[in-house]
A and B are shown apart, each in its own frame.
Chain A
């Protein structure tokens, strides 16, 4: 039987990779994908908790997280398209003014 700690370590590793990607990349779409990575990392830990504590609520929570992630992707990518429209760039360090 795989210990629960292995799953938690995997989850934290993926989460940290997501944080690193979000903090270092210039391309806003890759930054957005890093956020999806972080959400997936949290989902892994929730599912493993659900399995090891014999409680289905963790899986219900993952269901909600996935639904919210879909809504977030739709809105976030719409904002990215608005950024393209105003600045014609996908790089966050070129969009550094408060007023377009």
Chain B
């Protein structure tokens, strides 16, 4: 009963906050709402026995990515932004498309059949700690994707410097 109550609170908060994120006219308000949203998602990860990911959610998403967004928002002219039109002209069309997608996803959920269960039950993971189990899989089975991530990060460094640096020269 307790677990259901916590889930319902977190789910309601996440959905309401994500609607607020996409409807605020002031981008800074959107950003603050998103910060609260990320903390709620981290709490949801904790209830799903993924403590390490909850920490990563706070460190990377709330701590780094949102700060980056905030810097770019501060490049904007906020005064102009507050009075500008928020939505594109044919916005009902976009909402309609999104609702259609929701209907398709919910209908497809009916025919969902879970696959075979693995060996990492909650008890096994709790005995070993979440981070340790995750690390063992990450650094043995997922060795190649892990090395590819370093290439992606390298591309991100080079790409962002090339794109943003031009301004500094002239």
* Known pairs A21-B22, A47-B48; A77 contacts B87 (CB<8 A): no
Report the interface size for chain B: residues with CB under 8 A from the other chain: 87
Q: A77 and B72 in contact (CB under 8 A), knowing A10-B11, A57-B137?
A: yes
Answer whether residue B36 sits at the interface, using C-beta atoms and an 8 A cutoff: no
Closest residue on chain B to residue A15 by CB atoms: B105
Chain A nearest CB from B109 CB (Å) reads 6
**Is B127 part of the contact surface with A, judged by Cβ < 8 Å?**
no
**Residue numbers in A under 8 Å from B37 (CB-CB):** 40
At the interface, is chain A mostly helix, strand, loop or mixed?
Answer: helix
0 or 1 for each of B42-68: is its CB under 8 Å from A? (1 = yes): 001100111011001100110011001
The answer on a CB contact under 8 Å between A24 and B95 is yes
Residues of B within 8 A of A (CB): 3-4, 7, 11, 14-15, 18-19, 21-22, 27, 30-31, 34, 37-38, 41, 44-45, 48-50, 52-53, 56-57, 60-61, 64-65, 68-69, 72-73, 75-76, 81, 84-89, 91, 93-95, 97-99, 101-102, 105-106, 109, 112, 114-122, 124-125, 130, 133-134, 137-138, 141-142, 145, 149, 152-153, 155-157, 159-160, 163-164, 166-167
B53 in complex: contacting residue of A13, A63, A71, A92, CB < 8 Å: A63
Interface residues on A, range: 35 or more
Bound complex: CA of A29 vs CA of B21, how far in Å?
A: 11
Flag whether A95 is at the interface (Cβ < 8 A).
Answer: no
Whether the pair A20, B98 counts as a contact (CB closer than 8 A) is yes
Chain A nearest CB from B6 CB (Å) reads: 9
Let me know if B14 and A10 touch, CB within 8 A. yes
Determine if B163 and A29 form an interchain contact, defined as CB atoms under 8 angstroms apart.
no
A29→B53 contact, CB < 8 A: no
What 8 pairs across the A-B complex have the smallest Cβ distances? A23-B94, A21-B22, A55-B118, A71-B156, A20-B98, A78-B163, A24-B94, A24-B91
Report chain A residues within 8 Å CB of B101: 15-16, 19
Q: How far is the CA of A54 from the CA of B15 in the complex (A)?
A: 26
Residue of B nearest to A67 (CB): B149
